[in-house]
Amino acid sequence: MSKRIGSVPYLNSVPLTCGIEKETEFVVPTKLADMLRAGELDAALVSITETLFHDDYDILDDIAVTSHGEVKSVFLAHRQPLEEIETIHCDTASLTSVNLLRVLLAERGLKPKFEPLSDYSQAALLQNVLLIGNAGINFLHAPHEHSIWDLGTAWHELTGLPFVYAVWALRRGHHNAALREKLRAAKAAGLARLEQTIADHPDYDVDFRRAYLGGHIRYDLGVNEKVGLAKFVKLLKAHSEQAVHAPLFV
């Protein structure tokens, strides 16, 4: 039987798929969005912009991947001052991060050209590069000569609000109470065993995992997160040429 749940293969998603790993397809955000649109999945932990640019999804309430400041795995690595940047190479796995970066720069009156990053191994050689997820963390752990503009920090400095990176998108008309409860139970189980995940997970060192999973990344979608999301929707409408839809929570 084909898997009907999808998530990302990043450390930050581990607590949200606890106990449902075997029935979950793990692929990068852009691929997840394609599979959800094609009807190959009924639920996916997708970039928030996928739900804002396509009016086909309900958002599972109470669960998200967010930060209240520094996020560590979504950043612009740059060798030029922000004001002098003409071109940024962007991780092709990213959806939300590209739009968040576009909004943050536009709010400063900056509109550089965005180009795809074709090969992660070239990232350290480029002047300016947007990276996300484990590839971003790997970059930070390796030698580089770039300044790091953490987009979670930049968003919090601009708005004073949390930023919502990813949510469980449910294909409208193709989800039920059992599926919604399964995803909520996975989060509850994942947070209950968070200390064990921090201690035992093979990615990176335990100090980084503790700082990242135990602080930088948060998993609730509450009042403050929704206020932050509403602010992002407002700025996205101001700086994007695409139609932006209001999120619908279930």
Distance CA 242, CA 62 (A): 27
pLDDT tens digit string along 28-72?
888 999 999 999 999 999 999 999 999 999 999 999 999 999 999
Is the same domain home to 45 and 86? no
What are phi and psi for residue 158, nearest 5 degrees? -75, -40
Is residue 84 in a domain? yes
Q: Which of 115, 134, 159 is the last residue of a domain?
A: 159
Residues 154 and 170 grouped into a single domain:
no
Judge whether residue 3 has pLDDT over 80.
Answer: no
pLDDT band of residue 228 (cuts 50, 70, 90) is very high
Helix, strand and coil content of the chain, in percent to the nearest 5, comes to: 45, 25, 30
Q: Is the pLDDT of residue 1 over 60?
A: no
Does the residue 248 lie in any domain?
no
Better-predicted residue by pLDDT, 141 or 3: 141
Number of structural domains in the chain:
2
Rounded Cα distance between 73 and 108, Å, is: 22
Long-range contacts of the stretch 3-7 (C-beta < 8 A, 24+): 3/41, 4/41, 4/42, 4/43, 5/41, 5/42, 5/43, 5/44, 5/179, 5/183, 6/32, 6/35, 6/36, 6/41, 6/43, 6/44, 6/45, 6/46, 7/32, 7/44, 7/45
Measured CA to CA, the distance from residue 219 to residue 139 in angstroms comes to 24
> What are the pLDDT digits (tens) for 94-138?
889 999 999 999 999 999 999 999 899 999 999 999 999 999 999
User: What's the CA gap between 178 and 56, in Å, rounded?
Assistant: 20
**Which pLDDT belongs to residue 149?**
98
Is there a domain that residue 245 lies in?
A: no
Last residue of a domain, one of 121, 142, 159: 159
Model confidence band, residue 2 (pLDDT cutoffs 50, 70, 90): low
Instruction: Report if residue 247 sits inside a domain.
Output: no
Based on the fold, state whether residues 47 and 88 are members of the same structural domain: no
CATH number of the structural domain spanning residue 177: 3.40.190.10
Whether residue 43 sits in one domain with residue 114 = no
Cβ burial of 1 (10 Å; 0-12, 13-18, 19+) is: exposed
Q: Does residue 148 share a domain with residue 43? A: no
In a domain, 250, yes or no: no
Q: Are 128 and 183 members of one domain?
A: no
Choose one of 95, 130, 159: the last residue of a domain: 159
**Does one domain contain both 153 and 183?**
no
Mean pLDDT of the chain: 95
Long-range contacts of 180-186 (CB under 8 A, 24+ apart): 180/60, 180/250, 182/20, 183/5, 183/16, 183/20, 183/43, 183/60, 183/63, 184/60, 184/62, 184/63, 185/19, 186/16, 186/17, 186/18, 186/19, 186/20
Provide the whole-model pTM.
0.95
pLDDT attached to residue 95: 83
Of 61, 62, 91, the C-alpha closest to 76 is: 91
Looking at the fold, whether 89 and 53 belong to one and the same domain comes out as no
Between 16 and 119, the more confident residue is 16
Same domain, 63 and 122: no
Residue 220 lies in a domain: yes
163: nearest Cα among 80, 211, 233: 233
The whole-number average pLDDT for the span 172-188 is 94
How far is Cα of residue 108 from the mean position of the Cα atoms in its chain?
A: 22
Both 187 and 137 in one domain: the answer is no
* Residues 84 and 140 occupy one common structural domain: yes
Give 241's Cβ-side CA count (13 Å radius).
Answer: 0
Confidence band, pLDDT 50/70/90 cuts, at residue 190: very high
**Which range of residues forms the domain containing residue 128?**
74-159
In a domain, 195, yes or no: yes
Count CA within 13 A, CB hemisphere, residue 3.
Answer: 14
Pairing of strands 57-67, 128-132: unpaired
The DSSP result for 58-71, as a single string, is EEEEEEEEEESS--
Q: Is residue 56 domain-shared with residue 32, that is, in the same domain?
A: yes
What pLDDT, on the 0 to 100 scale, is given for residue 78? 98
Would you mind telling me the total number of residues written for the chain in this entry? Answer: 250
CA neighbor of 125 nearest in space, from 144, 150, 142, 111: 144
Per-residue pLDDT, averaged over 188-200, amounts to: 97
Residue 24 belongs to some domain of the structure: yes
